[in-house]
Amino acid sequence: MAKEKIVLITGASSGIGEATAKTLVNNGHKVILTARREEQLNQLVAELGSDNAMAVAADATDFTALENVVTKGIEKFGRLDVAFANAGMGVSTAGTEKGDPDEWSTMIDINIKALLWSAKLTLPYLRETTGHFILTSSAAGRKPIGGSIYGATKWFAYGFGQNLAEEMSEWNGRCTTIAPGMVNTPFFDEAKPDKLDPQDVADAVLFAIEANQRNSVREIYLMPTN
């Protein structure tokens, strides 16, 4: 089995983050979980066991609050091997002309700024362990979608992941950008039979971090088969 990894996950209270936390612990890793919803985080820690998981509720768009998460995680586990920047959101009104600027601002804070904060705060610790940064972009960050401001934020995430991989390679760190198509999570209201499952993304994260250290899995692009 691969060496035990200490993994920080943002957006961990449901969907992809929750599935990833369970998958990693079931495969012998330990997790530091953060999201805004404290009750759900505490339930997840109770399920996974306090030896394997800890939670610190925080808003990932708040640099100081996220810094506290990283600090507390290091205090408990002593190191950080992987950071998974997964927190994100979409908007209710599509298009530029009809879009809501306030909603855009909130989305940019979580999809872009929280990603930057996560990298800025974890990189010093990842450098110490020759660690791994993983981020959730989207299939929407790889192709033009008419009027999609959400897609544009994921273009940023996609480009940032590629650039960060180059930056981290200077000290043999690894960076993986995961770009899934539509995933069946609370993120999307409409039910579609051809969505991916959060487990599919969790499996991708596990694959990336357990790959041999010589192998930097730069990108994983997932689409529903149908």
Which residue numbers are catalytic?
Answer: 150
Which residue is listed with tokens 């760190």?
A: 173
Concatenating the DSSP letter of every residue in 30-51 gives EEEEE-S-HHHHHHHHHHH-TT
Measured CA to CA, the distance from residue 122 to residue 39 in angstroms comes to 25
- Taking the mean position of all CA atoms in its chain, how far away is CA 100? 25
192 phi/psi in degrees, rounded to 5: -130, 140
- 86-95 in b/e form (b: 16+ CB < 10 A) is bbbbbbeeee
